[in-house]
Structure 1
């Protein structure tokens, strides 16, 4: 009608690499392996929220489009739909909070790796370990940026739905607010792309580190 509101979801699969033919012992590389695999497990909460998050986003978009198709003579129906959309936005907020808790707990586990890198004697392996750590640090920082801009957009969604409940709402005000929201979701998309790119880089560097350390890589899953 006067603009299209885009909802983007964060979607990615963490690389799972399983060591075979070796026993986890006391070497720095093997200790790093344990922490890295625990990090993967702790990020499982990230994946668990994606399906319900997508469903909430899609339903919210449908409600928004339905509201745009109504006239102000149907304000009671608009208010009802707006309240339902606000409820879905609140649900998204809860899911995103759970997602961040998963990422934060994984990051705390990952930080255990930092001190182990200095204990590695072999130069090539230490170099790959450092590259792995540096990339993961950038990845977690990127997720924080993504989380923050997504929450800003979510709050703007709520404000838009509240605005649509006003009986004296001007079309130009609605158009202006929707355009601002579109720009905010463009920021979300850019942040999402940056996070996904760093995830791909991390997956590759993790695979290279495991290979150099002598861990066989099987059951490969690439991040998307």
Structure 2
């Protein structure tokens, strides 16, 4: 579904991504793992068209995304959940859900509320009144409401309690069961192995390994040491 070829990205004179190539098949959950500063967030921003200093080829299925602005990529089926969650603080939960345009097989509000019951309870609350975990639920739900075919998620479990981490895992598995594809940044290696099919290891702006779950589990201690976790 997603194809990235020879992607380079820079911040001024600082080169952050160096010839990155990867593939994500339809229906997969794939994680990007690597130390802080490896280029993971920049990679997602490049795919979404939010980082202008880039070169290379990016395609969603048969549709080339290269050179398209972010709103055109969103209408092609990309959904982005940033690490700051991007919740509109001045809007209620339900207004946050209804604001983005629907571009594909969008989830209905009833389906959203059945999957995220806390959002039904908080639907009249402004974004500023939500906890971190509730904001993460809202960020995920808002993208599903658009009908995005591919979710780009930047560290959805960061700062959450173990209970909420498990809930995020349940939601990602449910999303996958409904045919949505996910490219996920995740520092929690153990969590990543519970939801993902494959993993790309980034180091110094390059993809250095592509690993399946069995390989990650067999090398977990080595990888945790490498990642500095």
Scaled by the length of structure 2, what TM-score is found? 0.24
Scaled by the length of structure 1, what TM-score is found? 0.24
**Structure ranking higher on relative contact order (CA contacts 8 Å, 6+ apart):** 1
More helix by share: 1
